[in-house]
Amino acid sequence: MNTITINGTSHELRDDELELSLLEYLREKRFMTGTKNGCEKGLCGTCTVVVDDKAIRSCRMTVRKAIGARVVTIEGMEAPDGSLHPLQKAFIDSGAIQCGFCTPGMIMNAYALILRDPEPARETIRKAMKGNLCRCTGYQQIVDAVESAAKVIREQGLSPKAGRP
């Protein structure tokens, strides 16, 4: 049986779904529309999700390659009580959102960064985020948001995975 775990829930895959892109599967089969379809070429970063703790362009990965993987989408970032993950809150508080189209991909890329580096330097943040394009906000607010969220997670003793103790 082929399965994929998305935001902690296991899903059985049908044979006709295996060659879909992960982006198509998430949006069309699971109705998780927080993951955006930007360029379908892996260049803009709007479709970024986290697969086994790594930022992945979901338009470039087939469902077949995600069999057995743990996928986290923007919908999986909030706590069970509905409160925002520190990254989501920091993006709002830092003014790192405007139109919001790139925001889910930005947050997911930042999430993968904090998982591997809980105290990223500003230059590390800039390098990690360079593949995510934004036409509205400007990147300074995005770097500020990632830095702020990482600090909150560390200072409050939260797990970056859940954003909670």
Tell whether 64 and 106 lie within a shared domain: no
**pTM of the full predicted structure?**
0.93
Q: Mean of the per-residue pLDDT values for the chain?
A: 93
Q: For the chain, what is the domain count?
A: 2
Tell whether 120 and 147 lie within a shared domain: yes
pLDDT in tens, 80-110: 888 999 999 999 999 999 888 999 999 999 9
Tell whether 95 and 148 lie within a shared domain: yes
Q: Is 110 left (phi over 0), alpha (psi -120 to 50) or beta?
A: alpha
- At 103 the pLDDT is 95
163 pLDDT band, cuts 50/70/90, is low
pLDDT in tens, 113-130: 999 999 999 999 999 999
Please name which of 157, 136, 130, 135 lies closest in space to residue 146, comparing C-alpha atoms.
130
pLDDT in tens, 28-37: 999 999 999 9
- At 164 the pLDDT is 43
Domain span holding position 40: 3-76
pLDDT in tens, 50-84: 999 999 999 999 999 999 999 999 999 988 888 99
Tell whether 19 and 72 lie within a shared domain: yes
Contact 53, 112 (CB under 8 A): yes
Tell whether 90 and 72 lie within a shared domain: no
